[in-house]
Amino acid sequence: MENTAERKKIVLSAIQPTGTPTLGNYLGALKNWKNMSKDYDCLYAVADLHSLTVRPEPQALRRQTLEMYAILLALGLDPEENIVFIQSHVPQHAQLAWILNCSTQFGEAARMTQFKDKSEKHPENVNVGLFTYPVLMAADILLYQADYVPIGADQKQHLEITRDIAERFNTVYGNTFKLPEPFIGKVGARVMSLQDPMQKMSKSDPNPKGFISMLDEDNVIVKKIKSAVTDSEAKVRYAEGKDGINNLMGIYSCCTGLSYEQIEKDFDGKGYGDFKQAVAEAVVCELRPFKEEFKRLMADKAYLLECAELGAEKAAHLAQRTLSKAMKKTGLFML
Ligand code: ATP
Ligand code: LTN
């Protein structure tokens, strides 16, 4: 009889420890990580190797890596149920990345918009790591034979190149890697800056009023939402040209589960002041349990280190299986 006992699908994602994540990172990616953890076998990583591409100050990187690890656990991810780890603790990522570099064309890496954006923004440090960044990301994903990768819309192109690299490798050497699918939420996939709703909300925005950090105090969240840029129509409705209101509606919908239609109905005849107040309250409520848990975890460093060690061990075990397979297929001489 055919074995119908379905194995759970595998989910992998990662986030760079480049600062406290924003509401954009949360609604676009991290909230889905938590939701998916109930139904899938999930692996979540702090992508510290990726963040070296922007040359962070070493002490800051060390601190931010542990903070980001605590942030992931504070989302409510159970370190026993999910594999939560720090990328550089699993050397197989860098090893597979090298092999995949040799299955990636220079031209396709050069077309990545993130590479073009980052090299324009930081012309003083256009390093080769920045160029091969998507190949390391492909290794992160392919090592675990991931089915789904929850990401924000800006990472879609990196998922496409991951699939292209995997497909090419499979064609040349025989079936080795599963082709992963992106998982991009319908709302929240692109949260925009509160000050310039044409730009994505980003933790590296020099104007802190543009983003809400996941660790902002309640009163700061309220202030930032109240000063969000809107328009002069004074009607809460989702429509072209109303980028500020559309963005707030997206945020509100993500936090409350209400549809745009319902939101429009609820705020019919009310002004932007009332709406902003409601959005602010919803965001404060959404982030409060997370912030409390984060504080608690940061006070227990020994526990964090224990979880990180366990996560690395479990991840390395799975990663080695795929790495060995890829090494064998390419003809690397194995003992
Ligand atoms: P930076 O601002 O430093 O360039 P970032 O805020 O884009 O970084 P990343 O670590 O690159 O953060 O992204 C982590 C995850 O959050 C990714 O899946 C990314 O797609 C998602 N993400 C980032 N910004 C947003 C946003 N404004 N809206 C929705 N998702 C986002
Ligand atoms: N490039 C991603 C972070 C990242 C990632 C990954 C996401 C590194 N490795 C693997 C998904 C899967 C970013 O900047 N957001």
Per-residue model confidence as pLDDT tens digits over 128-185: 999 999 999 999 999 999 999 999 899 999 999 999 999 999 999 999 999 999 999 8
Q: Is 244 helix (H, G, I), strand (E, B) or coil?
A: helix
- Ligand 1, residues at Cβ distance < 6 Å: 15-16, 18, 22, 24-25, 28-29, 151-152, 154-155, 189-191, 200-204
* Catalytic site includes residue 314: no
CA of 45 relative to ligand 2 center, distance in Å: 9
From the candidates 31, 34, 118, 224, which is the catalytic residue? 118
Q: What pLDDT is attached to residue 6?
A: 74
Q: How does pLDDT run across 230-263, given as a tens digit for each residue? A: 999 999 999 999 999 999 999 999 999 999 999 9
List the CATH number of the domain containing 57: 3.40.50.620
- pLDDT score for 2: 45
Report pLDDT digits (tens) over 160-176: 999 999 999 999 999 99
Shared-domain flag, residues 161 and 224 = no
Q: Chain-wide mean pLDDT for the chain?
A: 96
**314-334 confidence digits (pLDDT tens):** 999 999 999 999 999 999 999
Burial status of residue 82 (CB atoms within 10 A of its CB: 0-12, 13-18, 19 or more): buried
Residue of 154, 201, 203 to mutate, ligand 1, most atoms within 8 A of C-beta: 154
* Known catalytic membership, residue 203: yes
The rounded Å distance from CA 297 to ligand 2 centre is 24
DSSP symbol at 45 = E
Neighbours of 333 (CB within 10 A): 6
For the question of residue 223 being annotated catalytic, the response is no
18 and 72, same domain (yes or no):
yes
Each residue's pLDDT tens digit, 281-313: 999 999 999 999 999 999 999 999 999 999 999
Pair (24, 168) in one structural domain: yes
Which residues contact residue 298 at a Cβ distance below 8 angstroms, ignoring those fewer than 6 apart? 67, 70, 304
285 part of a folded domain: yes
Residue 253 to residue 279: CA distance in whole angstroms? 9
Whether residue 133 sits in one domain with residue 228 = no
Please give the residue range of the domain that contains residue 24. Answer: 10-188+301-330
Confirm or reject: Cβ of 141 under 6 Å from ligand 2.
yes
Under the banding of pLDDT at 50, 70 and 90, the label for residue 1 is: very low
Q: Write down the pTM of the prediction.
A: 0.94
Measuring CA to CA, how many Å separate 232 from each of 157, 165, 196, 218, 239?
36, 48, 15, 27, 13
Range 14-24 average pLDDT: 96
Task: Give exposure, 189-227, as e/b (b: 16+ Cβ within 10 Å).
Answer: bbbbbbbebeebbbbebeeeebbbbbbbeeeebbebbee
Into how many domains does the chain fold?
2
Which strands sit side by side in the sheet containing 181-183, from one edge to the other? Answer: 83-86, 41-46, 10-15, 148-150, 181-183
Assigned domain for 152 exists: yes
Q: Which ligand 1 atom minimizes the distance to the CA of 13?
A: 18
Alpha helices in the chain (DSSP H): 23-25, 31-36, 48-51, 58-74, 92-101, 106-110, 113-121, 128-142, 156-173, 218-226, 243-256, 260-266, 272-298, 301-330
326 and 273 together in one domain? no
Dist. CA 15–CA 46, nearest whole Å: 5
- Which pLDDT score is estimated for 5? 60
Whose Cα sits closest to atom 12 in ligand 2?
13
Residues 271 and 289 occupy one common structural domain: yes
pLDDT digits (tens, 9 = 90+) for 50-103: 999 999 999 999 999 999 999 999 999 999 999 999 999 999 999 999 999 999
Residue 203 pLDDT? 87
**Ligand 1 centroid to 47 CA: how many Å?**
13
